[in-house]
Amino acid sequence: MAQAMSRQGFAATSVGDVLKLAGVSRQTFYQLFSSKLDCFMATFDAATELLEARLNEAVEGGGTPLERFERAIDAYVTSLASEPGYARLFLVEAHAAGPEAIKRRLQFQYRLADRIAGLFDSGSEDSRFACRTIAAAVASMVVGPLLDDDPEALRRLADDMTRHVRRLSESGVL
């Protein structure tokens, strides 16, 4: 699904396109999924699990909150660059797939914001709002470099975001 969609988008991708790439029969597909959307959502969930696992691994271990944030943002952009089909599905095509996909994407974004807040031990509502803003900004800002297939721009974005979060931390916002 991710590979098929990365070529032509969710709306234009047919079950037949997925079947060709997966090398399975229509009968097998429908034994596993009830529809194209059901397959999309299963793929979306797999992408989410992959991203969360990589982020969780990145923040484990020692270091300052900023060092742990930097490892997490590095893991995030590296994952997007190394899995462009999943990244496009997760960040772009979720909007075409409809409300349930958007809702799941937002739930991931909220979990990410909570994880950032946990890194910085952010207890105040202002600090938690700053963490939600960071998560939303990253989710939005990575789309351009992703669509342009520009891993270097993703890397620069990670560096810029780390500098910004450092300033927020130093100023007491986080």
pLDDT at 84: 86
How far is Cα 77 from Cα 92, in angstroms, rounded to an integer?
15
Within a domain: 71: yes
pLDDT at 153: 93
What does the block give as tokens for 103?
Answer: 């809702």
* Domain of 60, in residue numbers: 35-171
Which residue in 173, 25, 157, 10 sits closest to 91, CA to CA?
10
Q: What stretches of 17-67 adopt beta strand conformation (E)?
A: none
How many of the other CB atoms lie within 10 Å of CB of 170?
Answer: 10
DSSP 77: H
Within a domain: 12: no
What does the block give as tokens for 57?
Answer: 């691994």
How far is Cα 65 from Cα 89, in angstroms, rounded to an integer?
30
Within a domain: 100: yes
Within a domain: 69: yes
pLDDT at 83: 87
Within a domain: 4: no
Split the chain (174 residues) into runs of 10 and give each run's mean pLDDT: 89 94 94 96 94 92 91 93 88 93 94 92 90 94 92 92 94 90
Within a domain: 46: yes
DSSP 103: H
Within a domain: 51: yes
pLDDT at 122: 85
Model confidence pLDDT, tens digit, residues 23-71: 999 999 999 999 999 999 999 999 999 999 999 999 998 899 999 999 9
Number of domains in the chain: 1
Contacts of 32 (CB under 8 A, 6+ apart): 39, 42
Within a domain: 21: no
CA distances from 28 to 11, 45, 137 (A): 22, 20, 40
How far is Cα 42 from Cα 38, in angstroms, rounded to an integer?
6
CATH number at residue 73: 1.10.357.10
How far is Cα 67 from Cα 162, in angstroms, rounded to an integer?
9
Which residue in 122, 117, 42, 124 sits closest to 72, CA to CA?
117
pLDDT at 134: 95
